[in-house]
Amino acid sequence: MILILKPNIETDSHEYKQLMAQLNSLDNIQISLHKEVGIQQVLTEIYLVGNTSLLSLEDMKSFPCVENVVRVSEEYRVLGRHKDDNRPTSFNYNGLHFGQETLHVFAGLCAIDNPEHVELMMKALQEHGQVCTRMGAYKPRTNPYSFQGHGKKCLPYVFELAGKYGIKIIAMEITHEVHIDEIKEALEQTGNPTGIMLQIGTRNTQNFELLKKVGRQQEFPVLLKRGFGITLEESLNAAEYLASEGNRKVIFGLRGMKTNMGDPHRNFVDFAHVPVVKRLTRMPVCIDPSHSVGTREADPDGILDVMHVIAQGVIAGANMILVDFHPAPGKALVDGPQAMTLKELPYFLEDVRIARQAYEDRLALIKRYQ
Ligand code: PEP
Ligand code: MN
């Protein structure tokens, strides 16, 4: 059960103390507190875990400082959708709004290789009105002899260039908790020119200790990729680990499933799950067409498979596109074969706009028929 308190409630107020005294007297119920510090107000939620079936919604609602009470099912307590649950489905970060109604594009390098390529990428993004990107500094690789990413040493120039080209958020995968401190340090050292969305890759979806550490910090939002060999339910529970530790600024990323049934694509594209994740949870949903498809193959008309699956995800209501681009894919140190070129950037953005318009038309249509 979740008690949503009235905004800006003071913890030393009489109403708050009265409520807490009553809750503390309940047997077999654990209480945990979550504070969401927004721009305009602080929202406090109290989670009651244990034998809550005997508690009445009406009794709980009768406390003067309680605004709403939600009885949650066992699954996805924090991130899930529950009956009469009007908690927000969106969040703000570094001036941008992320929700189940918005769409953001994060085009960029799979792996940072050198300052020249980072600059060419960011310059092209700025020229086309983009304020987000993806940049990998810590690369989890199947082969220990493959390039592992430049790690913390590339962060200062990447962040400085982001500031120079107006990039507000960089999605960056981390594979260990120390990377959070390294990112924070480099941001401080460079004067906080940009924001970071921490990415947890498909190989770490069920790295529970990492999830707990990332969930305990609330500074950076998190993009959690779906595990490529586990069920959707297991991956959604992984997202819940982040939220249960305190960070609910979580975006769920679909990136294809590992099975030969998807051949000749690198992974089996799973963007049919965009509406499923939106129905089960309050998370915005990201699609990663590059790691799903894994090639630059095109149909007989010349439309890349990557572009087709982007359109499929966007027309189904995706809220974020994480996609590999590279100024010289032949020279990329990671995943060059799936990267799109800077020349293709305006074409890609226009195609996304068409698919998004189709989604919005479909929304208007269902509203007319409801
Ligand atoms: C990536 O986005 O660079 C990546 C490694 O993705 P995934 O974890 O989905 O394989
Ligand atoms: Mn990659």
Cα 223 to Cα 133: distance, rounded to the nearest angstrom: 13
Residue 202 Cα to ligand 1 midpoint, Å, equals 6
| Nearest residue to 239 (alpha-carbon basis) of 221, 257, 219 | 221
Residue 119: CB atoms within 10 Å: 17
Residue 333 near residue 111, CB atoms below 8 Å: yes
Cα 356 to Cα 351: distance, rounded to the nearest angstrom: 9
The segments of the chain whose pLDDT lies below 70 read 39
**Do the domains 92-369 and 2-72 match in fold?**
no
Residue 29 near residue 49, CB atoms below 8 Å: yes
pTM listed for this prediction: 0.93
Residue 99 near residue 138, CB atoms below 8 Å: no
Residue 65 Cα to ligand 2 midpoint, Å, equals 48
Write down the pLDDT at residue 126.
Answer: 98
**Cβ 110 under 6 angstroms from ligand 1:** yes
Residue 366 Cα to ligand 2 midpoint, Å, equals 37
Q: Whose CA is nearest to atom 8 of ligand 1?
A: 201
Write down the pLDDT at residue 82.
Answer: 87
Write down the pLDDT at residue 54.
Answer: 86
Ligand nearest to the CA of 138: 1
Question: What tens digit of pLDDT does each residue of 340-360 get?
Answer: 999 999 999 999 999 999 999
Beta carbons within 8 Å of 104's beta carbon, 6+ residues apart: 96, 98, 132, 319, 320, 321
For the segment(s) 2-72, the CATH number from 3.30.70, 3.40.50, 1.10.287, 1.10.8 is 3.30.70
Give the domain ranges of the chain: 2-72, 92-369
Write down the pLDDT at residue 71.
Answer: 87
Residue 176 near residue 200, CB atoms below 8 Å: no
Nearest atom within ligand 1 for CA of residue 204 = 8
- Give the fold, CATH level 3, of 92-369: TIM Barrel (3.20.20)
Write down the pLDDT at residue 40.
Answer: 76
Write down the pLDDT at residue 294.
Answer: 97
C-alpha distances in angstroms, 184 versus 171, 222, 256?
A: 14, 15, 31
Q: Whose CA is nearest to atom 5 of ligand 1?
A: 201
Residue 232 near residue 222, CB atoms below 8 Å: no
Q: Whose CA is nearest to atom 6 of ligand 1?
A: 201
